[in-house]
Structure 1
């Protein structure tokens, strides 16, 4: 019989294929034993896919990937907005995380599906680039996939949908720039910070926290640019959130190396050293022969003299506080204590860098080279006990370019969630300072962009028009979800928002009062960059998933070659077992 290649493709979807080497009966068999086609001539066994491989083609692959994206979006959807709910995540060790931060939820979940992992990457990118809007990015991506499923059912090719989504994303960026407002004054920054923290366990203290965050961001700003790594967040439980404070300097989670050292040093001269204060071992194997007790005494005295000399170099330079990245010998600790120097050892490299930026000190590699010019300054350096642990506070620095936020909370889980909220707020305030552009929150920006995209869809021809219109509808999932999470009727809220946008583009959903109002006047403001990144990354992820029409996944490790007989059932002539 003739070999029908189309019939072959349909028959062997997601199956392992064998071609027998039986000279009398040359057939292609699936792993179920179905005959697909007969070949003329004497064939050789060909294993196209290994045993245990799963394969999904065409619409099956697309539907599977779209379903994974929709499920993941639904998982985090209920956490969106000021009235979003929290998720409790328990790992294999029993550790608990309670949060409504989208990226934290997705990181903690043990996700295996490849398409779902792509959406997790969307959230991670959003977190890295902006710091907030992770949940928004994921639910927009999920809704884009949901709308695409409807278009696929209408026999619209995935490439056309992807092209339409790309056009819509580009147009959305243009509309976003039009509806943005230039603002980076202190009042706007405070509102941006409070908007980011609303609904994340910080409501009762969001105003004082916003003050601390804005002050921290403005302090580390250099030439209009902000590296948020220079804002250190140190969290400690055992106190209410209102007791959080901004330190104009660095908090080091260490303690003095010797109890005889002073607990507090005023007008401190700070030395930073990244080498150990101890006698170094020789680089080559060496043997010292001692034949007399006096020689032993001389050897010990010489070691002591070397260590004492190192300490004298530090004190001669004028240092009253020492931060060492490596170890400090016990004898060196004694000499430093006698000299009245407060010393800390095993300080992290990141903390050393922050100390250098805060105090103006230079990190010295060789004690012999240390001079007064290498020292930094601080109003005070003190060891304080916080939540049962000793910490070193370096405070009162002059114009520090690295600061520390000490975040307090009643329990570990509470302070962890507050830290995540503060981290998000730092990101959005930094983005606002750098870009100077903000948009109205409460779903106002999404409704404006959706309205503009619907008008744009009417102006283009071809099937891409349907994809652009679907993109516009997908963006409306944000205000719709905000309403659902607040216990409001999502349809009524969406209709009211659309009607209100005929008069003003700043109208959004006030979930606390349950009505539509001007978001700028309500103080609900978000950075332009948050929306820009969320829409762009969601669109690109949806495009990539839609263009996949074949998923080949190995589910079991490949077994070693057994002379070409694996999976053949040991039957004569290499015939697969019939099932």
Structure 2
């Protein structure tokens, strides 16, 4: 073309290619990883996150930190996605997943500098991750829902390093009871969906005053002051239709020419609502929980019948109420019968931290429960709530899988040992990548040691030596004592799925980032609709 440059992209387009693109992505992921690593373990430190509005969050929860951070770099955003995936799948281990991904990319950077192709590194990482999953499953130990001591240790390990660990024993009992209550047998497998556990937080008192409610807490009060504050032996009607005269679907005008006609019109409206209230009374309902509105006239009639009513209950709470009380959510009050009513020993309005809340408790064998989290300040309550969420999550996955592994870096050292042996059988350049994976996974015990003020090199040497001995598979670092010991006996244990998911997420993310050799600024990307191309 006569030596003239061909402009395919706009002149101002930012573009990084080849090694520059790879190094930039690796650096961004490493920075995120290093920022999060210091929160790992019982001796991990907290981060103070300050928003542009001046709101402050103090936490050492990995996913919360990443979620609140303003991250711009695309590779860094992938690290945030790792944390969210780990949180969604397991509910714990987010820091481990992000730290491992950062370490894998750092090791990959060294291999790229030595001339190893990114595709070979990615392939080696994939094989190493599969081998790591095998080793983790081999060293896993069985646990049942009756083994409360082990379950308690699993919760306390998950909560360690958070402010809630001071009250760890009380909160761990609460988490175990809550998950055991909602766990169900399905097709011979135990399913524990923690969405059926409502966590409600209120400032005041201390975290030791947090409690499990055999039922549901609704963050609302009665609709009318003339209604009873407390109903014993409650029969509960769950409605997702409004208790008020609804507007017609089409616009219409009613011409009223005399006071008698107006009175007749109002009497008809009143009569319709009276009929609804009478029907609810006839089937035995003395508590009405309504997802939509309750009109003033209906409130008046319900109060006269000594019936407690709450309006605008959340849809998610209605589902939980149905599971807890055994009732059925109805869209038509006329179809509601006595068999559709839920039951509870007590429905009571209480003032908690200055707000009225409705407690529906004493349900017989509820399949949905609530945990009321308390704490001295808003920041404490938020951190205790995050700790309770982690506790509930780890118990649910431990019960569903029936497996746990020793903590304190023991599984990572055992995996690294097994992967190094495996690398010897593979050979070639792939073996370099597999060995790099083994070095990277040791980031967990190394970071635990660093955060505890111990020498990471000495700790790694001791751990490797311990795992080389017979029966040393369970040897890990007890961060509190600073000693290498059998962490399964010491009660430092984690669910198997926390580790397998962390390895899987970190390896997938590292492979994805390594395969990128060009970073180009793009115009607005169209959202995928799932539709095929037009013919």
TM-score (norm 2): 0.95
The within-5 A match list for 1:73-88 is 73-88=33-48
Within 5 Å, give how 1:268-307 maps onto structure 2: 268-307=234-273
- Equivalent residue, structure 2, for 1:460: 426
In structure 2, the partner of 1:539 is 507
* Counterpart position of 1:566: none
Match of 1:67 in 2: 27
User: Unpaired runs of 5+ in structure 1?
Assistant: 4-25, 30-45, 558-579
SS in 1 for 2:10: coil
- 1:285-434 to 2 correspondence within 5 Å? 285-434=251-400
Contact 1:54 1:554 in 2 (8 A): no
Q: Which residue of 2 aligns with 1:161?
A: 121
> Which residue of 9, 32, 56 maps to 2:16?
56
Partner SS, residue 516 of structure 1: strand
Task: After TM superposition, give the deviation of residue 187 of structure 1 in Å.
Answer: 1.4
Conserved 8 A contact 1:52-1:556: no
How far the C-alpha of 1:108 sits from its partner, in A, is: 0.3
Q: How many angstroms apart in 1 are the aligned matches of 2:140 and 2:49?
A: 37
Q: Which secondary structure does the structure 2 equivalent of 1:202 belong to?
A: helix
Match runs of 1:10-49 below 5 Å: 26-29=2-5, 47-49=7-9
1:186 pairs with 2:148: yes
**Residues 324 and 345, structure 1, Cα contact 8 Å, conserved in 2:** yes
> What displacement does 1:260 show?
0.4
Matched, 1:475 2:441: yes
**Match for residue 93 of structure 1 among 53, 56, 60:** 53
Q: Are 1:450 and 2:416 matched, yes or no? A: yes
After superposition, the CA RMSD in angstroms is: 1.2
- Note if contact 1:290-1:296 (Cα within 8 Å) is conserved in structure 2: yes
Query: Which consecutive unaligned segments of at least 5 residues does structure 2 have?
Result: 526-535
Q: CA deviation at 1:368?
A: 1.4
**Structure 2 match to 1:502:** 468
Partner of 2:126, secondary structure, is helix
Larger radius of gyration: 1
Residues 31-73 of structure 1, C-alpha deviations (whole Å, 9 max, x = no match): xxxxxxxxxxxxxxx6410242111110000000000110010
2:166 to 204, 208, 222: 204
Partner of 1:489: 455
Deviations 1:398-446 (A, max 9, x none): 0000000011111000110110111011111001100011100000010
Structure 1 residues 394 and 59: CA distance shift in structure 2, 3 A: same
| Per-residue deviation, 1:213 | 0.3
CA deviation after TM superposition for structure 1 residue 286, in Å = 1.5
Which residue in the other structure is 2:484 paired with?
516
Residues 176 and 528, structure 1, Cα contact 8 Å, conserved in 2: yes
Look up the match of 1:571: none
Q: Within 5 Å, give how 1:566-577 maps onto structure 2.
A: none
SS at match of 1:521: coil
Please say if 1:140 is aligned against 2:100.
yes
Deviations 1:488-534 (A, max 9, x none): 11111111111111231111111111111110111000011000000
Is the CA contact 1:156–1:463 (under 8 Å) kept in the aligned structure 2? yes
